[in-house]
Structure 1
C-alpha cells in the first residue's frame, strides 16, 4: 500500500489552513493524466465537486457494498479494504477500458484517558451524531481517506491512504442542535462536514488538506492515477 504522509507538500492541489476562521476548498485544474475514460465510483457530492474542480471529464457509479461487513483492527487497512471492495463491486458492470476511482473514509478520535483512538464512521443515529460533535469541542479529530485507482483495461491497481487532522474551536450545544437539525452531517464519516454552515467558522486549524478531509486527497489521487496508467499514452 502506498501511504502519503500528512506532511507531504500539497503543491497546487488542496489547501492548508493555520488558525483561519473559514474553510474553502482550493483545487486548481490539472491536465488529465491519461487518455482513458474516468469513472468516480462514489455518490459523494464532495468528491464530485473536487473532481469538477480538477477539470477532468468523468462519469459516476455507485457501488453496492456492505461496509460494516468489512472490519480490521487497523483503521488504515480497513478503509483501504473498503475502497478495494467498492472497486471489485463496480469492475464487472462498467465498460472497459476505463480508470475507476473508489474511496472510503473513517475518522479517528482520541478521547484521552488512555483509551486510544476510536474509529468513527457515519453516525448511525441522531444521538450518536450529537455525541460526536460535542466531543470535538476544543479538540482534534483525524480523517483517513483511502483511495483505490483501478485500470480496468489491464487490472493494474494503485492505492493509498492520506491522513489529515482537524482542530476545532468551541462547539456550543446550540450549534450542535442546529447542525443536527439540518441533517447534512449524517452521511459524513465522523459526523461532521467542513462545508456545514454551522461548523466551517469553528475550524481552528487543519493539518493536511481540505480536499483530504472532504474525502478525495488530490495529490494522492493524481499520483495513483499516474501509477495505474503509466503505460497508457
Structure 2
C-alpha cells in the first residue's frame, strides 16, 4: 500500500525518511483551531486523525499518516509564531518554565478504515533565559515555523535545562517509535 504523509512539514518529512520507506507528501486541508474546552492533548490527537482522514477520499487504498503538536504551559498554548516578535514573546513566557509539547501521530488505513492514534508528551524545562539570549537565538535560528519557537534539534537545545520523553523524535514533530508500532500492526516490515 502507498504510504502518505499528510503534512507539508519539512521536519516531519525528514523524520519519516529515517525509516527508509517510500512515501509521498500531501497537504491536508484541516482547520487547526482548538475546540472550546478541549485539552491540548485532545487537540493534538484530534488534529492528527483529522489530517490523515482528510486525504482518505483522494487516496482510497493507502496508509495515511497525520501528526500534530500542541505546546502548552497550563492553559496557555504556544503555536507557530510566524514572526520574530511573536517568537521572542513566546520564549519570554516559557523561560524558567516546564512546557509540555504534546505530539500526536495517527495512521489511517483508507481501505479498511482502521485508525490508530498515539500521543507522546515531552516535558521541556527551559533555562531562565535573558532577553539578549532569546533575541540572539531567534535571530540565528529563525524558529518561526515551530510550535513554541524552540528547535531542540538545532541551536534551541541551548535554551533547555532538561527534557523528558519516551520518544526523542516526538519533540521534533513525528513520534517514530509509536509510528513504527502502528505500521507494523498494518503489516509493514520495519526494519
Q: After TM superposition, is the score higher than 0.5?
A: yes
Q: Which runs of 5+ in 2 are unaligned?
A: none
Alpha-carbon distance in 2 for matches of 1:196, 1:133: 16
Name the counterpart of 2:71: 107
Question: Which structure is richer in relative contact order (CA contacts within 8 A, separation 6 or more)?
Answer: 1
User: Which of 72, 78, 81 is the aligned partner of 1:120?
Assistant: 78
User: Which of 91, 109, 120 is the aligned partner of 2:56?
Assistant: 91
Q: TM-score normalized by structure 1?
A: 0.72
Q: Is the 8 A contact 1:70 1:82 kept in 2?
A: no
Offset from partner CA, 1:36-68 (integer Å, 9 cap, x none): 221111111111111111222211111122212
Shift of 1:72: 4.4
Name the counterpart of 1:206: 163
1:171–1:69 CA distance, 2 compared to 1 (3 A): closer
Name the counterpart of 1:57: 22
Alpha-carbon distance in 1 for matches of 2:65, 2:36: 21
Q: TM-score normalized by structure 2?
A: 0.86
Name the counterpart of 1:41: 6
Name the counterpart of 1:25: none
Offset from partner CA, 1:103-140 (integer Å, 9 cap, x none): 1100121xxxxxx4422222255433212112332322
State how 1:60-209 maps to structure 2 within 5 Å: 60-68=25-33, 70-94=35-59, 96-109=60-73, 116-123=74-81, 125-182=83-140, 184-197=142-155, 199-208=156-165, 209=167
RMSD of Structure 2 on Structure 1 (CA): 2.2
**Poorly superposed stretches of 4+, deviation over 6 Å:** none
Alpha-carbon distance in 1 for matches of 2:75, 2:14: 30
Q: Is the 8 A contact 2:122 2:164 kept in 1?
A: yes
Alpha-carbon distance in 2 for matches of 1:120, 1:202: 16
Name the counterpart of 1:28: none
Alpha-carbon distance in 1 for matches of 2:158, 2:34: 36
Q: Secondary structure of the equivalent of 1:135?
A: helix
Q: Which runs of 5+ in 1 are unaligned?
A: 1-35, 110-115
Shift of 1:182: 4.8
Shift of 1:162: 0.7
Shift of 1:204: 2.4
Q: Secondary structure of the equivalent of 2:33?
A: helix
